[in-house]
Homo-oligomer: A and B are copies of this chain.
Amino acid sequence: MAQRVRSWWGWGWADAALDGDACAALAERVAPFLELDGELAPVPEVSTMDAPRVAPPAALAPICRADPLTRAGHAHGKAYRDVVRNLRGELANPPDLVAYPQGEAAVVAVLDWASAAGVPVVPYGGGTSVVGGVEYRGGGPWLSLDLTGLAGVAEVDEVSRAARIRAGTLGPAVEDGLRGYGLTLRHFPQSFEFSSFGGWLATRAAGHFATGHPHIDDAVEALRVVTPVGVVESRRVPASGAGPAPERLWLGAEGALGVLVEAWVRVLPRPGYRARAAIGFAEYPDAVAATRAVVQSGLQPSNCRLLDALEALLGAGAGDGTSRLLLGFESADQPVEALLARAVEICRDHGGTVVTESTVEDWRAAFLAAPYRRDALARLGVVVETLETACTWAGFAALHAAVVTAVAELGGLVTCRFTHVYPDGPAPYFTVYAAGRRGAEVAIWAELKAAASDAIAAHGGTITHHHAVGRDHRPWYDRERPPPFAAALRAAKQVLDPAGILNPGVLID
Interface positions of A (Cβ within 8 A of B):
157, 159-162, 203-206, 214-215, 217, 221, 225, 227, 229-246, 248-254, 257-258, 266, 268-269, 292, 296-299, 331-334, 338, 342, 389-395, 420, 422-427, 460-469, 473, 477, 480-485, 487-492, 494-496, 507
Contacts and interface: CB of A to CB of B under 8 A. Distances in A.
Given A238-B427, A239-B427, A298-B334, 20 more contacts: A160-B393, A161-B393, A225-B484, A227-B484, A230-B483, A236-B392, A237-B389, A238-B424, A238-B425, A242-B464, A243-B477, A243-B489, A244-B250, A244-B252, A245-B248, A246-B481, A297-B333, A298-B331, A484-B495, A487-B496
Contacts of A467: 241
Which of A240, A253, A496 gathers most chain B CB within 10 Å? A240
Contacts of A480: 235, 242
A376 B460 CA distance: 52
A159 B398 CA distance: 14
Contact of A484 (B206, B230, B426): B230
Given A160-B394, A342-B333, A394-B160, A205 B465 contact: no
A250 B333 CA distance: 37
| Most chain B beta-carbon contacts within 10 A, residue among A244, A257, A466 | A244
15 contacts: A159-B394, A160-B424, A160-B425, A161-B424, A229-B484, A229-B487, A230-B484, A237-B390, A238-B392, A240-B390, A242-B462, A245-B251, A246-B485, A248-B248, A269-B296
A487 B482 contact: no
A319 to B, nearest CB: 32
B236 A507 contact: no
A250 to B, nearest CB: 7
Contacts of A251: 244-245
A246 B464 CA distance: 14
A368 B275 CA distance: 43
Contacts of A269: 296
Contacts of A390: 237-240
Among A221, A235, A480, the one with the most B-chain Cβ atoms within 10 Å of its Cβ is: A235
A206 B241 contact: yes
Contacts of A237: 389-392, 425, 460-462
Contacts of A477: 242-243
Contacts of A258: 484
A244 B239 contact: no
A246 B248 CA distance: 9
A232 B489 CA distance: 13
Nearest to A346: B333
A322 to B, nearest CB: 24
Nearest to A265: B424
Contacts of A420: 239
